[in-house]
Structure 1
Amino acid sequence: MDLKQIQYFIALFEDGSVTRAAKRLNIVQPALSMQISKLEAELNQPLFERGPHGMTPTDAARLMYRLYVPIIRDIDHAREQLSSTDVIVTGRVSLGMVASEAESVLPESLATFNALFPQVEVSVADGFSAQLIDAVEAGRLDAAVINKPRGRLTLDTRALLDEEMVLVVSATHGRVLPDEIDLSRLGDLELVLPTRRNGLRGALDAALLNADIVIKPKFEIDLLTTIVQFVEQSSVATIMPRVVVQRKVDDGVLRIHRIANPVIVRQIVCVSHPKRPLGSAASALIDIITEDIRRVTTAP
């Protein structure tokens, strides 16, 4: 087993097709198939099941992918650092993001990044903070932008920004409320909130617990886009980071109200593996995303 075979295997595993993987690797299909066959013969077990809809990885292939992806990332990072004097930055960045950020600033951030680093490939996955932490620990992601968890982490953690959460109502159907509302008054409203699996709910529950206030939402939904659309079309309110709803506020579709006594703040952090330092491209992408979030959340 050599490095080239491992790279071929990873490409086929991720693409699920010999045609797509060969194109990604810039090689002919027979060469890829031959190397995979050699790898299977060396391991004495099949790695893929060939079918009409592509290549389905076996359990052995899934285990091999989990074991070798971190190694390949380490090699790529080492290569990038050793060639850091090159004018053109190349490589691949694999980033995780909580949905509240991925659905808001990510498209604009990627456009900015692509203009600065056109030779760098980017892969972005969304999910709950706990899922993204696991992916960073396992080496499937270089880093993740998440809600700061309550427990202590073994990963390197970099604070990005504190983001105030606001009360959101429909501009058409929502109740008329003062610009600033006390946390204790939220119990008077019909609310739709993320479930307790979501880090946004964790920030809210922590604030309620500290203030000794109990709120029972009428609806609990994890899809943030669905929550926003539901609020837009009804008299139900929600509590969200401003970045999630700012565009609809600017369009006059939603209204936001500041929550006081106390203010609800969620902390955004970036986590990465201490044994796999981030390359310049990954660090630049995280900086761009952070700046875009800060710009949106501090807009007048």
Structure 2
Amino acid sequence: MDLRQIQYFIALFEDGSVTRAAKRLNIVQPALSMQISKLEAELHQKLFERGPHGMTPTDAARQMYRLYTPIMRDIERAREQLSRRDAIVTGRVALGMVSSEAESVLPESLARFNAMFPQVEVSVADGFSAQLIDAVEAGRLDAAVINKPRGRLTLDVVPLLDEEMVLVTSAALGPQLPPTLELAALADVELVLPTRRNGLRGVLDAALLAANVVIKPKFEIDLLNTIVQFVEQSSVATILPRVVVQRKVDQGVLCVRAIASPPIVRHIILVSHPKRPLGPAALALIDIITEEIRRVTTGTALA
């Protein structure tokens, strides 16, 4: 396995099509297919299933993507730093994050960032999306990672990723439910949800309104950690992004179920002030945070 093969694999995984991946890499399709076949032979694992909608990654491919994507990004940044011998990144980054992301991926992200940029100071604030938008507009924050609001923004917006929200129950005490539920079926489930001040609740309410579905939560709590602990210890369910609960799912404490017809998707965006461009340190930290979110959420099977 060499770096070129890993680059080819990552491109195919992200694009889901040999045609698109080859175009992105500026190579011919047979060359890409040949390198992927060599990689599969070396690993003794099938990485992709060919279907009518493109190339579908296997479980082995999802695991490989989670493991190698951060490494490849670190290599690219290391190469960039070494090519600028006298360019030592310094300064301070003030970043805002909604709590669903801050609590889930921030420790790992900061550890990676500190190893790469030891001379940069970092300040991170969490809060509701509306609060973080105000802080960026006022100049108290360089940028913020938030849930995309329904209204228009005067700030610069960069889409980071889309993430489906899932139904979460206790593995020991939760109700017996099918692996996938239609959105309308949630009306019959006892729920604890964030309050309407929380951007996650806004995403849920917008999906319910579009589907003409009405649900009435029994409990409303804004502290996500409290919601997760409450669900863990009761028969009450919740609806949250997978990144918030994935560690407890991996530990066998919680179960998640897909929501369909339609799914509930929250859009994570980066906002910054158009008159205050972000520096290399801020951009690097945002890239690392985005990678960590993808690493946690990509390709994990539903319980």
TM-score surpassing 0.5? yes
SS of the counterpart of 1:105?
A: helix
Q: CA deviation at 1:85?
A: 7.7
Residue of structure 2 equivalent to 1:182: 182
Q: Find the counterpart in structure 1 of residue 129 from structure 2.
A: 129
Partners of 1:86 and 1:258 in 2: how far apart? 50
State how far apart, in whole Å, the 1-side matches of 2:179 and 2:239 are: 14
The CA distance in 1 between the partners of 2:200 and 2:220, in whole Å, is 12
Residue in 2 that maps onto 1:225? 225
Q: Show structure 2 runs of 5+ residues with no match.
A: 1-83
Secondary structure of the structure 2 residue equivalent to 1:118: coil
Counterpart amino acid of 1:288? I
Q: Are 2:114 and 1:109 aligned?
A: no
- Give the Å deviation of 1:88: 1.1
Quick one: distance in 2 between partners of 1:86 and 1:292?
A: 29
* Paired residue secondary structure (2:104): coil
Aligned to 2:273: 273
1:261 aligns with 2:287: no
CA distance in 2, matches of 1:165, 1:85: 44
1:266 match: secondary structure: strand
> In the alignment, is residue 90 of structure 1 matched against residue 90 of structure 2?
yes
Q: Match of 2:45?
A: none
CA positional deviation for 1:295: 1.2
Within 5 Å, give how 1:194-209 maps onto structure 2.
Answer: 194-209=194-209
Q: Distance in 2 between matches of 1:299 and 1:280?
A: 30
Alpha-carbon distance in structure 2 between the residues aligned to 1:199 and 1:129: 6
| Root mean square deviation, CA, Å | 0.9
- Hey, what's the Cα distance between the residues in 1 that align with 2:87 and 2:150? 41
Q: CA deviation at 1:299?
A: 3.6
Q: Give the match for residue 12 of structure 1.
A: none
Residue type of the partner of 1:207? Answer: A
C-alpha separation between the residues in 1 aligned to 2:88 and 2:115? 12
**Which residue number corresponds to residue 298 of structure 2?**
298
Q: Which runs of 4+ in 1 moved over 4 A?
A: none
Deviates more, 1:290-299 or 1:263-272: 290-299
Query: What pairs up with 1:132-143 in 2 under 5 angstroms?
Result: 132-143=132-143
Task: Provide Cα deviations, 1:126-177, integer angstroms capped at 9, x if missing partner.
Answer: 0000000000000000000000011110100000000100000000000111
Q: CA deviation at 1:117?
A: 0.3
**Partner residue in 1 for 2:10:** none
Which letter does structure 2 place at the counterpart of 1:196? R
CA distance in 2, matches of 1:114, 1:299: 27
What is the Cα deviation at residue 247 of structure 1? 0.1
Task: Say how many residue pairs are matched.
Answer: 217
**TM, length-normalised to structure 2:** 0.71
TM-score (structure 1 length as normaliser):
0.71
- The 2-side partners of 1:282 and 1:248 are apart by 30
Match of 2:18 in 1: none
Distance in 1, Cα, partners of 2:243 & 2:189: 22
1:96 aligns to what SS in structure 2?
strand
Q: Which runs of 5+ in 1 are unaligned?
A: 1-83
Distance 1:85 1:271 in 2: 31
How far off its partner does 1:86 sit?
3.6
1:18-37 per-residue CA deviation (whole Å, 9 max, x = no partner) reads: xxxxxxxxxxxxxxxxxxxx
Q: Write the deviation string for residues 196-231 of structure 1: whole angstroms up to 9, x where unpaired.
A: 000000000000000000000000000000000000
- Percent of counterpart pairs with the same letter? 80
